[in-house]
Copies of this chain bind each other. A is one copy, B any other.
Amino acid sequence: MVDFSTHLSRVRELLAEKGLNTLIVMGSSNIQYLIGSDAPSAAVVSFDDVVTLSSRLEFTRTLDEAKHGKHFTYLKEGDVAEYENAIFGGFYDALKKLLEGAGKGGWGYAGLSQETRRRLEEELGSAGVDLTKDFLTLRRRKDPSEVEALRSAARVAERALAKAIAMLETGITEAEVAAEITSCITRCGCEPSFPPIVAFGEHSAHPHAKPSLRKLRRGDPVKMDLGARVDGYCSDLTRTLTYGGCYGKFQGKFWAVLKAQERAIEIIKPGVQAREVHMTAVETLRREKLLMYFNHGLGHGVGLDIHEEPYLNAEATTSLLPGDVVTVEPGIYVHGTFGIRIEDMVLVTEQGPEVLTSFPKLLSL
């Protein structure tokens, strides 16, 4: 069970620090962070309360999913509806009414579009303070309950990957294997974090290959990238294996990618620049003369969003915090030939890196 009271306390500390009374939050994963449901359109946090506003379509899902808070829906004038807690008027009218209840004082916002922010400022007659970055920084610091959810999500992904590997045989299609991965994750009561990637042979050279009816042949590399959500928290795991005795062809390159991953993971700890972690992999691949085939950032934060702060790439300006969970996923992609990527999830702790995924890396069938 995710510890929402910790999340609310953090938000209230932020409000107090900024001298504000109310935070208006939009964006499905931001709202999920507060109440455990992504159904509402907006949430309003004050020192006493958390109140949400849902479209009519999603309102009953909010009622059934939210772990706490008071919940309202907005209806158009003339709508006929069975709900209590219905506010008539559009979204902005309803939000304005909720904010009247939230007491006087300054307001901040997180996750609002420019358009929504402007419209709200008009409605409320005062300027809000943009706390989006601060809010996303709170979300980076995974608490023990969130780490537990991420570990469970990693276990589900590993189970699905094991099933997928067990079914590899000459003639099976990428689509069949991808179907089994999704099926396994779904039967665990989870959603996939993203549509799984299963890529055989030359398809593995596309970082974001889509599963096709391409059949597995002896001598193919097999790249699989998958994840599951537990309580909204995403796992993300990639392995590349070789099928039908082709390991020799890839051996050198496989070890180079693995070395790039290991060196990058080793330096992970609080205070290290995100860019530096990326550059550690870059330098390893440069020495191996494979840098020209590494065409993406080394990794990304992972939590309620499959891609979130902090990003590990050449442009990153942030440094790692305790509680960050990041992927470390160097890859090389030789167009028309093959690709290799190895990806794990790493928790940043004061004691250094803790790898949350534990699936074997060297796999040759």
Contacts and interface: CB of A to CB of B under 8 A. Distances in A.
A182 B175 contact: no
A175 B189 contact: yes
Interface string A173-185: 1011011101110
Contact of A179 (B82, B186, B291, B334): B186
B173 A189 contact: yes
Interface in A37-68: 39, 56-61, 63-64
Contacts of A292: 80-82
A291 B78 CA distance: 11
A114 interface: yes
A179 B183 CA distance: 4
A97 to B, nearest CB: 20
Contact of A335 (B60, B208, B293): B60
A335 B82 contact: yes
B183 A295 contact: no
Contact of A195 (B173, B188, B191, B209): B191
Contacts of A80: 286, 291-292
A187 B176 CA distance: 5
Interface in A172-224: 173, 175-176, 178-180, 182-184, 186-189, 191, 195, 205-213
A206 B61 contact: yes
A295 to B, nearest CB: 4
Given A183-B179, A183-B180, A57 B207 contact: yes
A253 to B, nearest CB: 14
User: How many copies of this chain sit in the oligomeric assembly?
Assistant: 2
B208 A58 contact: yes
A243 interface: no
A58 B62 CA distance: 37
A296 interface: yes
Contacts of A178: 186
A207 B58 CA distance: 7
A186 B172 CA distance: 13
A64 B187 contact: no
A281 to B, nearest CB: 14
A333 interface: yes
Nearest to A81: B292
B296 A57 contact: yes
A226 to B, nearest CB: 13
A263 interface: no
Given A82-B335, A292-B80, A186 B211 contact: yes
25 contacts: A57-B207, A57-B208, A57-B295, A60-B206, A60-B333, A60-B335, A61-B206, A64-B206, A76-B314, A80-B286, A81-B292, A81-B295, A82-B335, A114-B114, A173-B189, A175-B186, A175-B188, A176-B187, A179-B182, A179-B183, A179-B184, A182-B186, A183-B183, A189-B212, A191-B195
Given A76-B314, A179-B183, 9 more contacts: A57-B208, A57-B295, A82-B334, A175-B188, A176-B187, A179-B182, A179-B187, A180-B183, A189-B213
